[in-house]
Structure 1
Amino acid sequence: MLPRHPHRSEDCRAISEILQRVGDKWTVLVVGKLGDGPLRFNELRAAVGGISQKMLTTTLRGLERDGFVTRTVFPTIPPRVDYELTELGHELLIPVSALSEWARANTMRVKAAREKFDGARV
C-alpha cells in the first residue's frame, strides 16, 4: 500500500506532468535501451523498433529537457551524436525496469481478464 500524503493540487499537477513524461510508451523503451549505455540516434532507433524518426527526436528532446538524457555531439564528419542517461535517468531506470518486469510477468493474467470481461459483455 502506498503511503498517504496530504492532498495538494500543486502536487497533483507536478506529479501528473512527470508521469506524462515517464509513463509514455516510447520514454519507457528509450530509457530501457539507454540503460545499457550510450547509443547513437540510429542505433537507438533500431534498438527500440517501430519508432519513427520524428517520435524518437521528440522523445529524446523531452528526456533531455527534463534532465534524464544528455546529448553529446562529437566534431567528426559527419557529426556523431550520442545519447546517454544522466544520474537522474539511471534513477528512473529502476522503476521503469520494475514496471517492465511486472508487465512481462503479468501479460497472460491481464489478457485472461480482458477476455473474461469482453466475453461477459457480449
Structure 2
Amino acid sequence: MSGLTTHILDLTHGLPASNVTIELYSVSNAGRYLLKTTVTNADGRLDQPLLSGEETKVGTYELVFHIGDYFRSKNLTLPDPLFLDIVPVRFGISNIESHYHVPLLVSPYGYQIYRGS
C-alpha cells in the first residue's frame, strides 16, 4: 500500500491526540501549496490517508500540526506564548510505490517525528 499517513500521540497524557488540525503542503522552488486540511480522530489518526497511492508524487512535502490548540484544550498551565504551537515537518517522498507514515510524538515542550511503518 503506497501513500501518506500520520498519527499523533500525546506524551504528556499517554493518549492519542484527538481533534488536532493537520495541514499538508506540497513544497517546490515555486512555492508552498496547501493540498489538504484534516483533523485527527479519537485514536489520534486520520479517517483517510493524507495521500492515497494515485495522489502520491515524488517531491517535498510539509505537514503542519496545530498542536497548541490541542494542549490549550487540556486545561494545562501553559506559558503565553506557548513554547510549541505550530509544528511544521518537511520531508521528501522519493518512492511512490512505498507507504510513508509520519507519526508525531508530542508534549507542550518537545516532539519527535520519524518515518514509521
TM over 0.5: no
Q: Which has the higher contact order (CA 8 A, sep 6+)?
A: 2
Q: Which has the higher helix share?
A: 1
Output the TM-score relative to the length of structure 1: 0.20
Q: Which has the higher strand share?
A: 2
Say which one has the larger Rg. 1
